[in-house]
């Protein structure tokens, strides 16, 4: 890598490590969201910064007072961040109908939020012309709610521009994925995760410009050491623990493909112009994108994953299940069966929003490396 | 070639010394807070048992939770790979090995050459491991051997719904308060752990022949409940279930290609 490229990568690493420092310099009101089904374009069109909230690495303080501890730990963490005031720098939050746990978090926050902005999108599960119409109307209501609450105006021009910016970002991220997949860009699992995860944290224009420069200036270094360098894919809904990816690096498992909610699934599919209008166009893109396990259409997701694995020469898939996530628990046997039919080994690793059992994680990843690699 | 396999488990350290494929020495010792010292002592005991000089050992492989502690190891191998190789050596018809240790239980699938093809580990709680049974025996004030055998004399079906070892202990306390016979409590505990291990094993899709190894393989209450739960009578238990992973490590140390 040439110096400039290294500098950009260092900057990405620093922001990923301390996003709060970066966010302090955002000179726009910040609106938070939790799931990939909240269109960032509408928030951006109101001249606000859309921020995807990640689970933090802190222990739960008051979150368990509102939700039982055997519920989804990611949901409990989100609620904890909201109730404890850690997210008080936000001007408001937007939820969508994602899973039952997050529905509970949305309801509890609605009762406890005081006067801060809150909006819930009753997101349909399937993509039909009726559901696209329905979501389109709901997105228009979201725009009206933001406009009324913040006394601003969301013009068609602003939405068009926000769509252009988000599409450009998606294209840059997809190009990055493509290069990693083809082996033209060699990067560790932790750096891969850091770069992709920042796409929904940083300012879109700044992020895209930095990522495009990083890609343009990238030159592989022949002596770059990735240990045993076994190519794997990581699948699941929410995996935000840097420790997980650093353990992958340590074991010599190199992520070349991901199938995570805020990984490739957040970027595949652009918003195209629609005669029926901008909201229709946004609704269509979000309803037709590769879905999470809570939204069904597993066939599309598995097909995408298998294709990505084949194109990249991936030797196995790590499926991360968030403890107590019924959807993922139910999905895993199907996904495993389908991947094994394609001769792609898969391992399920279960855990919370942070890694508590580091020894077990290391053993499981090493065992998988021994299984699919040439180490033994 | 003489090789040693050291399985540094969460409770015991097991060492197997092989000369080719023949076991010439073995030793077991409960671990301490000074793991390196305990490993050293156990290895020396096995060397004594093998009637060889320590310097005769050409390769050492470690496995188990404390596999990275011993600095002299030539190879460090996970207990999944070592267990799979070890149980395949005990009976090469085995395709699913179930290792139920003190703190962890795991299902290991191996192919026709003994290579691991799939694995699963209990992840939510210790309620699927040997220490769970030990703590339940303690709650009843019975030694482990008697507690395990008691289960065989009961036909009672008392469901224990606890998802966690701590809550399960509360259930046992409730059963004691209700004057439930000890044999029925023992049966309930063993049914519960068998059910949890079976659920975990089913995640790798059972393929016969099935084998159990690790400390709980010595527990007749568990083995009986496990067979009933899986509705499988033919379950292979090696002669020395505690040494399977150490054996696998010793074999892999010989089979590992240089470079």
Q: How far is CA A353 from CA A321, A345, A357, B115, in A?
A: 10, 25, 12, 32
Q: Torsions phi, psi of A242, nearest 5?
A: -60, -30
Q: Do B80 and A70 touch (CB under 8 A)?
A: no
Question: Does the pLDDT of residue A227 top 60, yes or no?
Answer: no
> How far apart are the C-alpha atoms of A317 and B118, rounded to whole Å?
12
Q: Is the same domain home to B62 and B119?
A: no
DSSP 8-state code for residue B79: H
User: Do B85 and B130 reside in the same domain of the chain?
Assistant: no
Closest CA to B94 of B78, B114, B77, B79: B114
Q: Residue B259 has what pLDDT?
A: 43
Same domain, B174 and B203: yes
A360 to B121: CB separation less than 8 angstroms, yes or no: yes
Residues in chain A: 376
Distance of CA A345 to the CA centre of its chain: 24
For residue A125, give the nearest of A300, A336, A293, A323 by alpha carbon.
A293
Q: Which residues of B touch A360 (CB under 8 A)?
A: 104, 121, 123
DSSP-derived letter for residue B55 is G
User: In this predicted model, what pLDDT tens digit does every residue of A32-82 receive, in sequence order?
Assistant: 999 989 999 999 999 999 999 999 888 888 888 888 888 889 999 999 999
For residues B218 and B189, membership in a common domain is answered with yes
For residue A370, give how far its alpha carbon lies from the nearest alpha carbon of chain B (Å). 7
pLDDT, tens digit, 9 for 90 and up, residues B35-87: 999 999 999 999 999 999 999 999 999 999 899 999 999 999 999 999 999 99
Interface of A with B in 84-123 (CB under 8 A): none
At residue A98 the predicted structure's pLDDT band, cuts being 50, 70 and 90, is: confident
Burial of A272 (0-12, 13-18, 19+ CB in 10 A): exposed
Give me the pLDDT at residue A376, please: 44
Kindly state whether A348 is in contact with chain B, defined as any CB-CB distance less than 8 angstroms. yes
Whether the pLDDT of residue B257 is over 50: the answer is yes
Mean pLDDT of chain A: 91
Q: Is the pLDDT of residue A84 over 90?
A: yes
Q: Using one digit for the tens of pLDDT, what is the confidence trace for B79-129?
A: 999 999 999 999 999 999 999 987 788 999 999 999 999 999 876 565 567
**pTM (predicted TM-score):** 0.86
* Nearest beta carbon to residue B116 from set A349, A357, A371: A371
Contact A371 B65 (CB under 8 A): no
pLDDT in tens, B198-221: 888 888 888 999 999 998 899 999
- Same domain for B135 and B170, yes or no, is yes
Considering the domain architecture, whether residues B36 and B75 belong to the same structural domain is answered as yes
Which residue do the tokens 């893109």 mark? A285
End-to-end CA distance of chain B: give it in Å, rounded.
18
Q: Strand B105-110 vs strand B116-121: parallel, antiparallel, or unpaired? A: antiparallel
Determine the Cα–Cα distance for residues B87 and B248; give it in Å rounded to an integer: 7
Q: In 10 A of CB B68, how many CB atoms?
A: 14
A317 has a chain B CB within 8 A of its CB: no
A329 part of contact set with chain B, CB < 8 Å: no
CA quadruple A242, A247, A249, A250: dihedral, nearest 10: 140
Which residues on chain A are in Cβ contact (under 8 Å) with B256? Answer: 376
Q: How far apart are CA B53 and CA B44, in angstroms?
A: 9
In chain B, residues with a C-beta closer than 8 Å to the C-beta of A69 are none
Q: How confident is the model at residue A3 (pLDDT cuts 50, 70, 90)?
A: low
Contact A345/B at CB under 8 A: yes
Task: Give the three-state DSSP class for A223.
Answer: coil
**Judgement on whether residues B136 and B192 belong to the same structural domain of the protein:** yes
Interchain proximity B104–A376, CB inside 8 Å: no
Domain shared by B96 and B180, yes or no: yes
Q: Which of A368, A371, A376 sits opposite B256 (nearest CB)?
A: A376
- Same domain for B102 and B209, yes or no, is yes
- Are the Cβ atoms of B119 and A367 closer than 8 angstroms? yes
Report the gap between the CA of B66 and the closest CA in chain A (Å). Answer: 9
For chain A, which domains are there?
26-150 (3.40.50.11890)
Range of the domain at B83: 1-91+240-259
**Structure token digits, residue A249:** 């690096």
Any idea what the CATH number is for the domain that residue B154 is in?
3.30.420.40
Confidence of residue A321 (pLDDT cuts 50, 70, 90): very high
* Residue A85 token pair: 């005031």
The pLDDT value recorded for residue A292 is 81
CA distance readout (Å), A42 to A145, A155, B86: 11, 10, 59
Q: How many domains does chain B have?
A: 2
Give the relative orientation of helices A189-197 and A156-182 as an angle to the nearest 10 degrees: 170
Q: How many residue pairs from chains A and B have C-beta atoms closer than 8 A? A: 52
CB B251 within 8 A of CB B18: yes
- CB B79 to CB A364 under 8 A? no
Co-location of B108 and B128 in the same domain: yes
User: Looking at the structure, do residues B108 and B162 belong to the same domain, yes or no?
Assistant: yes
A70 close to B (CB below 8 A)? yes
User: How many CA atoms, within 13 angstroms, populate the side-chain half-sphere of residue B68?
Assistant: 5
Confidence check on the interface: ipTM exceeds 0.85, yes or no: no
The 10s digit of each residue's pLDDT in A166-216 is: 999 999 999 999 999 999 999 999 999 999 999 999 999 999 999 999 999
CA atoms of A241 and B195, how far apart (whole Å): 31
B123 & B216 share domain: yes
């Amino acid at each position: 890598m040439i110096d400039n490229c290294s500098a950009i990568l260092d900057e990405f690493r620093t922001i990923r490590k301390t996003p709060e420092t970066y966010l302090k310099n955002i000179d726009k009101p910040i609106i938070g969201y939790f799931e990939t089904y909240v269109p960032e374009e509408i928030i951006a069109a109101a001249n606000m910064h859309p921020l995807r909230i990640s689970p933090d690495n802190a222990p739960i303080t008051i979150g368990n007072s509102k939700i039982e501890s055997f519920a989804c730990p990611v949901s409990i963490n989100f609620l904890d961040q909201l109730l404890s005031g850690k997210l008080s720098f936000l001007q408001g939050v937007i939820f969508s109908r994602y899973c039952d746990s997050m529905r509970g978090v949305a309801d509890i926050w609605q009762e406890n939020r005081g006067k801060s902005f809150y909006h819930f999108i009753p997101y349909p599960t399937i993509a039909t012309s009726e559901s696209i119409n329905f979501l389109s109307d709901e997105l228009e209501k979201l725009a009206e709610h933001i406009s009324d609450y913040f006394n601003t105006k969301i013009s068609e021009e602003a939405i068009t521009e926000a769509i252009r910016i988000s599409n450009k970002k998606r294209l840059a991220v997809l190009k990055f994925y493509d290069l990693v997949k083809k082996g033209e860009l060699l990067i560790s699992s932790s750096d891969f995760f850091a770069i992709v995860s920042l796409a929904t944290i940083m300012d879109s224009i700044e992020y895209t410009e930095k990522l495009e420069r990083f890609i343009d200036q990238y030159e592989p270094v022949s002596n770059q050491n990735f240990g045993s360098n076994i190519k794997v894919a990581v699948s699941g809904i929410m995996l935000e623990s840097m420790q997980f990816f650093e353990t992958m690096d340590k074991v010599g498992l190199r992520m070349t493909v991901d199938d995570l909610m805020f990984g490739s699934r957040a970027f595949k599919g652009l918003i195209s112009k629609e005669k029926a209008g901008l909201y229709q166009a946004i609704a269509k893109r979000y309803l037709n994108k590769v879905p999470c396990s809570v939204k069904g259409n597993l066939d599309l997701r598995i097909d995408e994953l298998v294709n990505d694995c084949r194109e990249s020469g991936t030797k196995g898939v790590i499926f991360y299940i968030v403890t107590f996530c019924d959807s993922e628990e139910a999905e895993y046997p199907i996904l495993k069966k389908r991947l094994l039919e394609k001769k792609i080994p898969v391992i399920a690793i279960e855990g919370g929003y942070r890694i508590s059992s580091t020894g077990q994680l290391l053993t499981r990843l090493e065992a998988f490396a021994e299984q699919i690699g040439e180490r033994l | 070639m003489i090789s040693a396999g050291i399985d540094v488990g969460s409770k015991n350290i097991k060492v197997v010394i092989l000369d080719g494929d023949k076991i010439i020495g073995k030793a077991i010792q409960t671990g301490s807070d000074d793991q390196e010292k305990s490993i050293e002592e156990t290895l020396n005991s096995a060397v004594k048992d093998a009637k060889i000089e320590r310097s005769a050992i050409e390769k050492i492989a470690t496995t188990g939770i404390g596999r990275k502690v011993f600095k002299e190891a030539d190879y460090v191998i996970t207990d999944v790979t070592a267990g799979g190789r070890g149980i395949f050596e005990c009976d090469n018809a085995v395709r699913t090995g179930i290792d139920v240790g003190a703190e962890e239980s795991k299902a290991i699938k191996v192919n026709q050459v003994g290579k691991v093809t799939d694995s699963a580990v209990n992840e939510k709680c210790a309620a699927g491991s040997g220490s769970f049974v030990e703590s339940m025996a303690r709650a009843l004030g019975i030694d482990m051997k008697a507690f395990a055998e008691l289960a065989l004399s009961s036909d009672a079906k008392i469901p224990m719904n606890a998802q966690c070892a701590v809550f399960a202990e509360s259930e046992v306390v409730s059963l004691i308060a209700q004057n439930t016979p000890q044999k029925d409590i023992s049966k309930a505990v063993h049914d519960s752990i068998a059910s949890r291990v079976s659920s975990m094993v089913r995640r790798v899709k059972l393929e016969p022949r099935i084998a159990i190894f690790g400390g709980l393989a010595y527990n007749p209450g568990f083995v009986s409940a496990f067979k009933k739960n899986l509705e499988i009578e033919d379950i292979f238990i090696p002669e020395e279930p505690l040494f399977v992973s150490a054996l696998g490590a010793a074999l892999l140390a010989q089979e590992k290609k240089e470079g």
